[in-house]
Chain A
């Protein structure tokens, strides 16, 4: 049922007790034309675009937990496209353009807000790196501008630009079209739209094996809810990618690290934009609920624990207190962790694999949320056409053999 003023009024007459479920929870069929492993934002989005743009509706998304319960439900919701290389800019800008219209397209409010993302420079090196990004972005028609410390403070009044900070702010790069969106809403919006088109979303269904035929091509998946046949599998399992790809004997250039985040008690609006500091290791924005949403770099060691250590949080808050002194006495309400799959060049892998019918979309590390619609869109194309879209053509698994790495360590922002 569409969300509209008309339906809102109609449902109000029965005290909102008759809204239908937003997505179906069907039993898995014996076979599908394609199976997506992982019902996060990227996976659900892939299913949506397969159905919407490629007419593939006899498909399923399998999720070992609950949909959107992985990194999609744990990220700090930042959206931007101010990356260095043309390949990356194409990919993230594709996402930003889809974000701008996503609520309308999905008939679901994803609460997208282009409030600006500001990257702070604290050293000469930072200035050089960010100015290089500004120029690279402008050459590709992506907005990015250099600000003085005073201009940065004008854009974000609670920012501390005192010269006696340990690492004072020397300037900032601002992408005005960057911003935030409601992470859960993205998953739910795609799930609802995909389900309505006939896509089966099967939760509590863990893939335990990948079946291949005599020629080595994909023939199905073994799951905790039975065997399901298919000729196309798209693996979108984030931190668990190595585990799933291992079921098809494909080794990956990935390491899964804990990434933590935390929120403060809700307060009135004081933070108008997103501020990120690579050098002193923290970033912050404010949700519509009023909570300050804070994050930083990964923990140092690989782990599937979704926990991480409190010392990381402490260091992050040291930096936050330095940057925004008037939040020092706020209480932190919740902290949590996810599992991020990190590649050596901090760029994703989206494309075909050595196994026929097996496609992978992974390696987003700490920066997957911003790319959700763009990633899903080009991955759907890759699966449907058995060929990458021009936008994801460079993000191959094979680039690690050829050496054509896409080094976005600086743009990925949080140092690993």
Chain B
């Protein structure tokens, strides 16, 4: 079970959370102006990386907030979490901080 550091509540067991998919997948401000391929990209196509992944979680059995998370999908180690709405952290800085 993962121990996930919720930005509000601190580290909590995985079962208190619900996974919410890849982070920073922006919805078009005007969906009507988007072509079919781009709309499909938004709905369905995902990076699915073998390595560092920017994703969202929701602390449903805790503070109930969404937040963002950076996790290595090979080791499942979480590098950091940050509140919803914040910008993607710089990966270079993160890796340095994580001692990689």
Contacts and interface: CB of A to CB of B under 8 A. Distances in A.
B6 to A, nearest CB: 15
B15 interface: yes
Given A243-B50, A300-B18, A302-B55, A252 B76 contact: no
Contacts of B41: 251
B15 A311 contact: yes
Given A304-B73, A305-B73, A400 B55 contact: no
Interface in B43-85: 43-50, 53, 55, 71, 73-76
Contacts of A341: 48
B28 interface: no
A402 interface: yes
Given A305-B76, A307-B76, A400 B40 contact: yes
Contacts of B53: 302
Contacts of B40: 253, 400-401
B98 interface: no
A253 B45 contact: yes
B94 interface: no
B44 A242 contact: no
Nearest to B36: A401
Nearest to B71: A301
A311 B16 CA distance: 12
Contacts of B73: 256, 302-305
B1 interface: yes
B45 A301 contact: no
Contact of A344 (B36, B43, B49): B43
Task: Give the interface residue-count category, chain B.
Answer: 20 to 34
Contact of B2 (A309, A400, A401, A402): A309
A304 B50 contact: yes
Contacts of B37: 401
Contacts of B71: 301
B50 A240 contact: yes
A93 interface: no
A321 interface: no
B15 to A, nearest CB: 6
A344 B2 CA distance: 25
A255 B20 CA distance: 12
B1 A309 contact: yes
B37 to A, nearest CB: 5
A260 to B, nearest CB: 13
B47 A305 contact: no
Given A300-B18, A311-B1, A401-B37, A305 B45 contact: no
A308 to B, nearest CB: 9
Contacts of B76: 303, 305, 307
A343 to B, nearest CB: 8
A251 B45 contact: yes
A341 B47 CA distance: 12
B40 to A, nearest CB: 4
B62 to A, nearest CB: 15
A21 B4 CA distance: 49
Most buried by A among B1, B14, B40, B44: B44
Contacts of B55: 301-302
Nearest to A343: B44
Given A252-B48, A254-B48, 15 more contacts: A253-B44, A253-B46, A254-B46, A256-B48, A300-B19, A301-B55, A301-B71, A302-B48, A304-B50, A305-B73, A343-B44, A400-B43, A400-B44, A401-B37, A402-B36
Closest 5 CB pairs of A and B: A253-B44, A242-B48, A300-B19, A309-B1, A401-B40
